[in-house]
Chains A and B, each alone.
Chain A
Amino acid sequence: MEPAHNSAQGNLLSMQNISKAFAGIPALSSASLDVGHAEVHALIGQNGAGKSTLIKILTGYVSRDSGDVRFDGADFLARSPQDAQAKGISTIYQEINLVPYRSITENICLGRESRRYGLLDWKAMHEEARHLMARFNIDIDVRKPLLSFNTATQQMVAIARAIGFKAKLVIMDEPTSSLDEREVAVLFDVIRQLKQSGISVIFVSHKLDELYQVCDRVTIMRDGRTVKTSAMKSISKIELVASMLGRDISQVSKHATAFGDRKGQIGDVLLQAQGLKAGHKVQDVSLNVRKGEIVGLAGLLGAGRTETVRLIFGADRLHKGSLTLDNKPFAPAEPIDAIMQGIGFSSEDRKLEGIIPDMSVAENMTLALMPQLTKMGIVDEEQQRLIVEKFITRLGVKCSGPQQRIRELSGGNQQKVLLARWLAMNPKLLVLDEPTRGIDVGAKAEIQTIVKELADQGLAVLMISSELEEVIEGSDRVFVLRDGHNVAEFVGKEINEGDVMAAMAHGASEKNGSSEEKRT
């Protein structure tokens, strides 16, 4: 069939009536997905909606129980991820899976190296890698190891690799979750370029704004079914959310976040950080948090937000500067020191620094509290059970019971368990690093509500979020970090998207500088 003819009619990919069950529990029931030629197609849905299963079937990680898949005008069955790649479907994952210590060239050409006289033809390979990267207006030394570049560049390498494999369809699974806004803009340019050269993209994301910027159509999934497919421009954000949640539009709050209005009283300063410095990432950061206050920490990727809060928690070593807690000097050498003082810290990386996957919900939840549940070295399991059941109810954790392994829970429910890990010890200060990253809309709203209620009851919260609206709507006060310095502070009504973004991008403006002076 002629390519031109092919693109004129029909879809590049057509998945119909796909069903799949794991151990008898259906993950997909008759789902469908159509992607046109040179189309950027958004795939959205809450956690557990079946997006990942659908994609895994497409990329050969799991086999389908029933249904038809046609790709590029022929029946399609991927036996393995390699098979899918060879047939023209490449996937770019959230966690980039490349080889960090090898050069960009090697990463791009891995698996299809050019050979001459039986030896690797480095010259041709470097040339090809340079050529592919140049398509994204990236001019870098392709001989350098991958890990010497930032996440965004690494992602471009992953995309270049996909194109090198002559992909006709590129699947991007939450590609923007670890990028800052400038990097996202570059990625979107690349996606538009891919489209121009006839490549289709399936774009999976939790960030609705992004979909409107780059996608042509959207398919919404819920409970293993395809609920709706629509052109992006003929569906509103509220309709998207409503379809994902399976609710009427009228039921969805007009607020983008669930923080709403604050009722509690803001008290005295609890934590004061003065001139913190550690490594290259944190140069000079001063900030404070009051009792009953939610303080947001805004900044671009690499501004030093996570590094700063890790210093406060004793997870990394402080080189210079001082901390006080309740007006008393505070120098945590290890996380346990901060925990003993009533500080909880929920890391941005749930998988690597949060959950213990093989342990139960109960044990994960009481991990920080365990010493207090122990008498003579023996864990009081009755008391543990009472606490766990209390928090499962209070936070609405959806699990089969306290003994279920946490790995089997959805991201949102895992996050609730981790939140409970700290709430169970009744902390004074809770440090939340990206508390709602990668979890579904419903769980996100629930977590935001919980945080607000806790602050109303007097808990001090220090919150990092890369989602601007979360910081802006959720915080009583916002500190903006830029290149390891705190460059601006906004209080109450001063907090608005424009000023915060300006501070993130350019540092303090005149106005902010003066308001900061007033406070100190």
Chain B
Amino acid sequence: MSKLTNHEDYEKTASFKFWRWLSGSKDPYVGVVELKKQEEFSEDAETKAKRISDEEALKAKIYDTDKNIVVKVSRILYRIGAIVLCLAIVAALIICVAYLPPVGSELNPTNNEVVSRYVSQGTAETGVINTVTGMILQYRGFDTFGETCVLFIASSCVMILLMVAESKIKKMNEQYALEPKEDKILQTAARILVPVLFLFGFYVIVNGHLSPGGGFSGGAIIGSGLILYSSAFGLEKIQRFFNEKVYKSIKVTALILYACTMTYYFVTGANGLTNIIPMGTPGNIISAGMIFYINLFVGAEVSCTIYSFYALFKRGGL
């Protein structure tokens, strides 16, 4: 026998809300979730007429093909030339592909001593289980260092283009309502997902030398977690733990440490000095010498960069 509860208590239960939703008497999303009707684009008749007439006048002037024979001929020639050139390049590349060695054949030139050493001695020489990480961070470490600098310079370049002053961000925020409203679905999802994303990203980074993944992929996962948090809770909440100061210090520390590690590696390697970073047992979390640490640095740099792209494009500042 169930106990009869009074109506006020009953209204708080989940079953009441469920039946209310089912009967359609109250939509649970109204007032809680951001639902905004899109404003229709409107333009008064006068400006519209002016815009159209301006455009047409300009077009008529530029493309007056009846009178301007040069434009007419050059337009036709340009189009024909572009098509012919494209077709010629496509044809040349297709012919070239036909002459390339077949995919996966044993006798291919790519199947040589380089690959065989990476596969057979990769674990012994670099201490990694995941050979790909060994290849990009040890054998070809200089390339990867350059690649990390590409990310750094790309984020700096976006800053040159989009960075606005701190005071202006707040003003723009009020004007264009850039910040999210309290959106229940997004916030609930973010509450559940963000810790998982951070944890998983960290897992991918620290296991970079053992399983597929590493600094680049793990950093991207952490960065997407930051983006989700920021778009659910807004600028103020994320600035409590991730503002421009934190961003800069993490990024610069990671990159400087990375540069130092690489310099140490280049100089000791080329001069035949002993490397004092312990290699550890292959398979352990802390093993593979410097690769473990480089993955950490790359992860920090990549997560910061990914988030900074989002923040700069959204509001012009971190």
- Answer yes or no: do A and B interact: no
